[in-house]
Amino acid sequence: MLGVIGGSGFYSFFGDDARPLSVDTPYGSPSAPITVGSVGEHEVAFLPRHGVNHEFSPHTVPYRANMWALRSLGVRRVFGPCAVGSLDPALGPGAMVVPDQLLDRTSGRKATYFDSGGIHVDFADPYCPDLRAAAVGQPEVVDGGTMVVIEGPRFSTRAESRWYSSVGFSLINMTGYPEAVLARELEMCYAAIALVTDLDAGVEAGAGVKAVDVFAEFEKNLVPFKNLVRQAIESVPRERSCTHCTPHEGVTLPIDLP
């Protein structure tokens, strides 16, 4: 089974024929009931990151519960579609990007399942190469870039935005961490697929980023964005062969993974 975690504005993925599943975890309930349907040859579990009605802000999303719930259903490969701001004027609204790096600028989020046992995971390359290949193989997709993940829920100041841009980062987001590292701890393949909704505050002169404009831009591009996610899923091999995202070989974990 593959998983899809939908971001802001991406609250559903299937029709009425999908089956809803309520899953509890040691970390509480996930953001919403998980719906299971089919895309091509794959059975797919969908979870809206912020809840069905956007109940959760970026800093309150139950990330640990979300990832644990998906794995407990048998999910081992996850696409994480998300809305992002652009730090690069060449990437305007509507661009679809598959980042290859992230920079964590969050604070206070629970970013691990391993509070004991001295467990460390390889995270030099945070995204699964196999899932990335499936996504970047689609038309008009930008391959690569660093996504800065900020705490939110506020947007960046112009100074912050200019700083991130000046060192070569290309995207900015509020939810890409700890989702990616929790997937790695659970030995789940994970790749983000980003839809640019705006140029960040320091990239162009103007009034800065406004949430209403972000949601409007996402809604305008939602159909092609969902189509991209479906095409990426259909390009994923039926059998998982990735070893990049299995860091615990030879390690005794302090907890049993679901």
| 98 alpha-carbon distance from chain centroid | 10
Q: Is 200 annotated as belonging to a binding site? A: yes
| 172 close to 195: Cβ distance less than 8 angstroms | no
Q: Was 50 annotated as part of a binding site?
A: yes
Collapsed DSSP state (helix, strand, coil) of residue 233? helix
Q: Count Cβ neighbours within 10 Å for each residue of 85-123 and write b for 16 or more, e otherwise.
A: bbbbeebebebbbbbbbbbbebeebebebeeeeebebee
For residue 200, indicate whether it is catalytic: yes
- 88, 100, 104, 200: the catalytic one is 200
Say whether 199 counts as a known binding-site residue: yes
- What are the tokens at 136? 């970047």
Q: Which candidate, 236, 203, 205, 191, places its Cα nearest to that of 92?
A: 203
Residues 6+ apart with CB under 8 A from 59: 106, 108, 109, 151, 152, 153, 174
Distance CA 133, CA 153 (A): 31
Nearest to 110 by CA among 33, 185, 11: 185
198 marked as part of a ligand binding site: yes
Annotated binding residue at 120? no
* Residue 102 assigned as binding residue: no
Q: Is 225 helix (H, G, I), strand (E, B) or coil?
A: helix
- Active-site pick, 17, 100, 198, 213: 198
Q: Is 47 annotated as a binding residue?
A: no
Q: Tokens standing for 92?
A: 């305007």
CB 42 within 8 A of CB 1: yes
Known binding residues for substrate are 174, 198-200
Residues annotated as catalytic (active site), given as ranges = 198, 200
Known binding residues for phosphate are 8, 49-50, 175
Known binding residues are 8, 49-50, 174-175, 198-200
